[in-house]
């Protein structure tokens, strides 16, 4: 039995962040990643009669993204991993899809609320305002290395916090 | 989620390396080191995936695309948001100009439809757990001369019956098929591709690099060495590719037409009438038609060329820009809800990717689509009005220049009737007001998805405005028809879901919340809005029907109850 257009759209919306993250690993450039996602999303709808489950769809989307990215790679040279690395990342990727995107987002949102005002301002500057580490360093008058240390610590704390919250939620359920 | 990471110096150094990578700040040597380590260290790969995902989740959660920045970006191409680096908060695409020409549209169409072809996407059959769709039509494929390589909502008719065909279907010589519905891409054995738009009847020939078009339209693209010399046979003419993109229409009543979008083709008389005209090479933006009455070849203007329009359905709001690509409003509800506060914007992306507005907000697309009264344009949008208000603005670009009056245009719903207005009003002297205002005779349906299409020919006359509802033109009443030479240019932004009655200069750039508060609503929209497309030209009725049919069947019909 094939998947419906509605199911495809729901999966695309639900998995948008993860798909975009995966594609960005392939092509690095965020605009190109958006383009690839748009293309394969549109193609998925035309292929709906040949796709029989959500898992099948996700697998197909990642493979399609790989194919499409291969054609784009020559135009976007910097920061592109070699195909062996991409094979390995692709095979590991599904292990990071056990938790639902919305659950992770909710947990992350709560964890963000627990950050110190300074840590929160660093995250906001980086992700809301799009500041690079270099700009951040200039803004706060610190060395760039120190900013990356701080950023990586915040990421680590957030990851631990999310993990704990997801585990608690699972236990509550 | 992966296992917790060890918090040792190596792990910390790895995390910093990954964060730098995500920031686009690794030099070549460091990147090569990361590449090698990812290859060798499974734990690092998991850390890498974990951090990459977290970065994207953070972006989705906290990014608050400042609309004023978006405007600045549009105007100045500022560096921060247009960086090609990772720069996660990529709120909107840039470069809007709303200037898509017919040829660009065709090329864009080709790009959309052809790109995801054989070279770029795997056959679904390669993916495990694949259950193939059985063909409803049996075809002789003893010698394959072409393959149906892609389809969108295609329904076929052959001598054997009517129905769907598998995503990839092999075609032997002299097989005649009618595409009753949808679109199909056919690739010849030598690599030439044609996009066929329904309704059309095609036939393979004995050649592995030719196709016969009995009726209908197709666009051909030949960009592989083997496909050079590809021939499309249409009544009265053979179109020989010389490395190009071209459109062909076979129409028994009006004759066969060829249009060149890129490169060149040679138009030759058909075998049956070799002396009808001298062969001619056509280049980009040239078009010819075979007169049905005598078989002669006549030159026709590009503006008279029947345009093939193929729109890949999608669940997003989009604006076609001058490069033929699209601006896609981000559908993540968080992007809008979080960045704009609870009162400023409605929900976005709920249901199936459309805007859902609750009278408390809108989406601001930025300082773009600034049409003048002598410029042609067309606007297409799906709406599902919730008629709880008698005055709801669907979209528009209307500024309130406080001392001067209202300038701009907008599409709105007044007592369930669809209205479009273009106006240059004077605050202190209404007699000087210069405006066109047109209203649909029939009422819109409440709580129903409807496809609205407005075209304007740049004549500054109400007669130049046409309204279409669900693919068909509707009668309209002219309320005002006094647009004079005054410009409708305005220093404001294009907004969806609210009328822009506020002068940006007065409020500076504080964000939309203040503007909304200041105007007390501006006829906010209640209901759904989706699949917005803006063109800088008049779109013809045929294409409007085509767009309506495709987006309805593929996208909105399944959500009629949504």
Does A65 or B52 have the greater pLDDT score?
B52
- State whether B324 and B276 are in the same domain: no
Chain A: closest CA distance from residue B444 (Å):
26
Number of domains in chain A: 2
Chain-centre distance of CA A15, in angstroms? 9
Before B199, cis peptide (omega within 30)?
Answer: yes
The arithmetic mean of pLDDT across residues B97-123, rounded, is: 28
With 90 as the cut, is the pLDDT of residue B456 above it? yes
Query: Looking at the domain assignment, is residue B520 inside a domain?
Result: yes
The total of structural domains in chain B comes to 3
Pairing of strands B287-290, B280-283: unpaired
Helix (H, G, I), strand (E, B) or coil at B242: strand
Write the residue in A21, A131, A166 that is nearest to B52 by C-beta. Answer: A21
Query: Residues B245-250: what's their mean pLDDT?
Result: 85
CA B51, CA B44: separation in Å to the nearest integer?
10
Contact by Cβ (8 Å): B435, B484: no
Q: pLDDT, tens digit, for every residue of B131-190?
A: 223 333 444 556 788 988 877 667 787 665 667 776 677 888 888 888 887 778 899 989
pLDDT tens-digit map of B481-523: 998 876 788 777 777 887 764 433 333 333 444 344 333 347 8
**Structural tokens at position B37:** 């380590």
Q: Do B53 and A132 touch (CB under 8 A)?
A: no
Indicate whether B343 pLDDT > 50.
no
DSSP one-letter code for B307: P
- Burial of residue B517 (CB within 10 Å: 0-12, 13-18, 19+) is middle
Indicate whether B228 belongs to any domain.
yes
A134-149 as b/e: b if 16+ CB within 10 A: ebbbeeeeeebeebbb
Which residues, in sequence order, are CB contacts of B475 under 8 Å at separation 6+?
B440, B441, B442
Contact A123, B73 (CB under 8 A): no
Indicate if A20 and A53 belong to the same structural domain: yes
For residue B505, give the CATH number of its domain: 2.60.120.200
Asked if the model's pLDDT at residue B69 lies above 50, the reply is no
Q: Which residue has the higher pLDDT, B34 or B328?
A: B34
- Asked if residue B50 belongs to a domain, the reply is yes
What pLDDT score does B51 carry? 92
Contact B47, B15 (CB under 8 A): yes
> A110 at the B interface (CB within 8 A)?
no
A75 shares its domain with A14? yes
Query: Got the DSSP string for B3-24?
Result: PPPP-SHHHHHHHHHHHHHHTT
CA B401 to the chain's CA centroid: 32
pLDDT at residue B353 in the model: 52
Most confidently modeled range among A28-42, B44-58, B277-291, B548-562: B44-58
CB A149 to CB B313 under 8 A?
no
Mean pLDDT computed over B89-94:
24
- Is residue B282 domain-shared with residue B324, that is, in the same domain? no
Best residue of B25, B30, B62 to probe chain A, by most A CBs closer than 10 Å: B62
The total of other beta-carbon atoms located within 10 Å of residue B205's CB is 17
- Read off the CATH number of the domain in which A121 is found: 1.10.10.10
Tokens 């704390």, residue located: A157
Exposure pattern of A52-62 as b/e (b: 16+ CB <10 Å)?
A: beeebbbbbbb
Q: Are residues B410 and B290 in the same domain?
A: no
Quick check: B121 and A45 CB within 8 A? no
Q: A80 and A51 share a domain? A: yes
B346/B453 same-domain check: yes
| Beta-ladder partners of B184 | B151, B196
Query: What is the distance between the alpha carbons of residues B352 and B314, in angstroms, rounded to a whole number?
Result: 10
CA separation for the pair B349, B275 (Å, rounded):
59
Does residue B346 share a domain with residue B227? Answer: no
> Does any domain span residue B408?
yes
Residues of B in contact with A56 (CB under 8 A): 127-130
Which among A96, A113, A148 is the end of a domain?
Answer: A96
Residues B328 and B442 in one domain: yes
Residue of B nearest to A89 (CA): B45
What pLDDT score was predicted for residue A137? 84
pLDDT higher at B451 or A118: B451
* pLDDT number for residue A67: 77
- Residues A122 and A137 reside in one and the same domain: yes
Which of B215, B287, B212, B189 minimizes the C-alpha distance to B247?
B287
Statement to judge: residues A37 and A82 lie in one domain:
yes
CA–CA separation, B166 and B158 (whole Å) = 14
Instruction: Give the range of the structural domain holding residue A62, as residue numbers without chain letter.
Output: 5-96
Q: Are strands B210-221 and B231-234 parallel, antiparallel or unpaired?
A: parallel
* Cα–Cα–Cα angle for A160, A164, A167, rounded to 5 degrees: 140
Write down which residue in B46, B62, B78 finishes a domain: B62
Residue B129 is assigned to a structural domain of this protein = no
d(CA B551, CA B316): 11
Q: How confident is the model at residue A155 (pLDDT cuts 50, 70, 90)?
A: very high
Token match 């075209």: residue?
Answer: B455
Predicted local confidence at residue B161, as pLDDT: 62
Contacts of B333 (CB under 8 A, 6+ apart): B347, B348, B349, B350
Model confidence at B475: pLDDT above 90: yes
Where would I find the H helices in chain A? 5-14, 16-27, 30-46, 54-72, 83-93, 101-113, 117-123, 133-140, 144-172
Kindly report the length of chain A.
173
Minimum mean pLDDT range among A142-156, B257-271, B307-321, B502-516:
B307-321
Positive or negative: CA dihedral B128, B131, B135, B139: positive
Least confident of A20-34, A41-55, B232-246, B303-317: B303-317
CA distances from B9 to A22, A153, B15, B37 (A): 27, 12, 10, 16
- Cα angle: B449, vertex B455, B457; to 5 degrees: 175
Is the pLDDT reported for residue B109 higher than 60? no
Q: Tell me the sheet residues that pair with B268.
A: B238
Q: pLDDT for A61-71, tens place per residue?
A: 888 888 777 76
Q: Are residues A92 and A16 in the same domain?
A: yes
pLDDT at B127 over 80: no
* Closest chain A residue to the Cα of B43, Cα to Cα: A92
- What pLDDT digit, counting tens, does each position of B373-429 carry? 888 888 888 899 999 888 899 988 887 655 556 788 999 999 999 999 998 876 666
Is residue A92 very low, low, confident or very high in pLDDT (cuts 50, 70, 90)? confident
Yes or no, beta carbons of B152 and A67 under 8 Å apart:
no
Q: How much is the pLDDT for B325?
A: 28
Q: What is the mean pLDDT of chain B?
A: 70
Which positions ≥6 away from B17 have C-beta within 8 Å?
B26, B30, B33, B34
The residues near B391 (Cβ < 8 Å, ≥ 6 apart) are B412, B413, B414, B415, B523
Give the separation between CA A157 and CA A154, rounded to whole angstroms: 5
Residue in B with minimal Cα distance to A78: B28
- Calculate mean pLDDT across residues A42-61: 83
pLDDT at B464: 95
How many residues would you count in chain B?
562
Domain end (from B241, B269, B304): B304
Rounded to whole angstroms, the maximal C-alpha distance in chain B is 85
Nearest CA of chain B to the CA of A116: how many Å? 15
Does the pLDDT at position B323 exceed 70?
no
Does A90 share its domain with A109?
Answer: no
How confident is the model over A52-64, as a mean pLDDT?
84
The position carrying tokens 């040597």 is: B29
Q: Does residue A38 sit in the same domain as residue A86? A: yes
The confidence score (pLDDT) of residue B67 equals 29
In-domain check, residue B79:
no
Domain with B158, as residue range(s), is 134-304
Q: Which of residues 41-70 of A touch B (CB under 8 A)?
A: 41-43, 45-47, 49-53, 55-56, 59-60, 63-64, 67-68
Domain of residue B184, CATH code: 2.60.120.1440
Q: Which of B45, B62, B79 is the C-terminal boundary of a domain? A: B62
Residue A39: predicted pLDDT:
82
Residues whose CB falls within 8 Å of the CB of residue B527, separated by 6 or more in sequence, listed in order? B356, B357, B383, B384, B385, B386, B392, B447
> Residue B302: what pLDDT?
60
Q: What percent of chain A has pLDDT above 90?
A: 10
Tokens at residue A48, please? 């709906």
pLDDT score of A1:
67
What is the Cα–Cα distance from A148 to B224, expressed in whole angstroms? Answer: 47
Residues B404 and B528 in one domain: yes
CA atoms of A152 and B151, how far apart (whole Å): 46
CA distance B11 to B67: 39
Integer CA distances (angstroms), B124 to A12, A44, B74, B115, in order: 17, 10, 39, 16
């Amino acid at each position: 039995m094939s998947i419906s257009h509605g199911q495809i759209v729901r999966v695309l919306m639900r998995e948008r962040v993860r798909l975009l993250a995966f594609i960005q690993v392939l092509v690095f450039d965020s605009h190109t990643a958006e383009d690839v996602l748009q293309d394969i999303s549109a193609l998925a709808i035309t292929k709906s009669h040949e796709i029989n489950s959500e898992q099948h769809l996700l697998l197909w989307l990642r493979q399609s993204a790989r194919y499409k990215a291969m054609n784009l790679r020559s135009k976007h040279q910097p920061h592109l991993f070699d195909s062996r690395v991409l094979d390995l990342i692709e095979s590991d990727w599904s292990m990071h899809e056990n938790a639902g995107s919305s659950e992770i987002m909710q947990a992350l949102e709560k964890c963000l609320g627990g950050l110190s005002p300074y840590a929160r301002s660093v995250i906001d500057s980086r992700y809301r305002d799009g500041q690079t580490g270099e700009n951040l360093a200039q803004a706060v008058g610190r060395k760039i290395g120190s900013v990356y240390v701080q950023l990586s610590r915040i990421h680590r704390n957030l990851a631990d916090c999310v993990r704990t919250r997801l585990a608690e939620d699972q236990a509550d359920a | 989620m992966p296992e917790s990471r060890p918090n040792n110096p190596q792990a910390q150094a790895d995390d910093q390396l990954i964060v730098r990578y995500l920031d686009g700040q690794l030099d070549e040597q460091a990147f090569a080191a990361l590449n090698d380590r990812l290859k060798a260290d499974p734990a690092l790969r998991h850390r890498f995936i974990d951090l990459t995902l977290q970065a994207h989740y953070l972006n989705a959660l906290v990014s608050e695309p400042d609309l004023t920045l978006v405007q600045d970006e549009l105007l100045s191409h500022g560096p921060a948001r247009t960086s090609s680096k990772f720069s996660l908060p990529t709120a909107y695409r840039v470069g809007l100009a709303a200037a898509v020409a017919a040829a660009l549209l065709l090329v864009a169409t080709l790009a959309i439809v052809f790109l995801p072809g054989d070279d770029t996407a795997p056959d679904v059959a390669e993916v495990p757990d694949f259950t193939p769709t059985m063909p409803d039509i049996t075809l002789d494929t003893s010698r394959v001369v072409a393959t149906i390589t892609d389809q969108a909502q295609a329904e076929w008719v052959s001598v054997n019956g009517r129905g769907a065909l598998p995503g990839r279907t092999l075609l032997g010589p002299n097989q005649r098929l009618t595409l009753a519905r949808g679109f199909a891409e056919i690739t010849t054995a030598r690599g030439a591709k044609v996009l066929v738009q329904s309704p059309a009847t095609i036939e393979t020939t004995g050649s592995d690099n030719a196709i016969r078009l009995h009726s209908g339209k197709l666009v051909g693209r030949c960009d592989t060495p083997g496909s050079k010399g590809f021939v499309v046979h249409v009544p009265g003419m053979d179109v020989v590719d010389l490395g190009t993109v071209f459109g062909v229409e076979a129409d028994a009543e009006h004759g066969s037409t060829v249009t060149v979008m890129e490169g060149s083709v040679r138009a030759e008389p058909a075998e049956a009438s070799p002396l009808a005209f001298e062969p001619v090479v056509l280049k980009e933006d040239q078009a010819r038609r075979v007169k049905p009455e005598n078989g002669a070849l006549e030159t026709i203007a590009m503006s008279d060329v029947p345009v093939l329009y193929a729109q890949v359905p999608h669940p997003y709001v989009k604006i076609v820009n001058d490069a033929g690509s699209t601006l896609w409003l981000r559908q993540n509800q968080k992007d809008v809800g979080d960045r704009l506060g609870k009162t400023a914007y409605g929900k976005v992306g709920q249901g199936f990717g459309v805007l859902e507005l609750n009278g408390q907000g809108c989406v601001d697309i930025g300082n773009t689509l600034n049409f003048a009264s002598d410029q042609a344009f067309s606007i297409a949008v799906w709406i599902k009005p919730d008629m709880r208000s008698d005055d709801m603005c669907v979209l528009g670009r209307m500024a309130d220049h406080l001392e001067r009056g209202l300038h701009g245009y907008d599409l709105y719903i007044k007592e369930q009737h669809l209205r479009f207005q273009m106006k240059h009003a004077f605050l202190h002297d209404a007699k000087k007001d210069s405006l066109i205002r047109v209203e649909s005779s029939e009422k819109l349906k409440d709580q129903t998805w409807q496809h609205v299409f407005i075209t304007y020919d740049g004549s500054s006359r109400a007669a130049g405005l046409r309204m279409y509802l669900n693919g068909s033109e509707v009668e309209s009443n002219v309320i005002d028809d006094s647009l004079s030479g005054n410009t409708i240019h305005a220093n404001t932004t294009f907004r969806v879901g609210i009328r822009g009655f506020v002068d940006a200069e007065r409020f500076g750039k504080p964000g939309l919340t203040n503007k909304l508060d200041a105007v007390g609503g501006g006829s906010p929209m209640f209901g759904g809005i989706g699949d917005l497309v803006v063109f800088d030209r008049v779109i013809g009725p045929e294409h409007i029907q085509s767009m309506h049919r495709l987006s309805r069947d593929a996208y909105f019909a399944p959500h009629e109850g949504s």
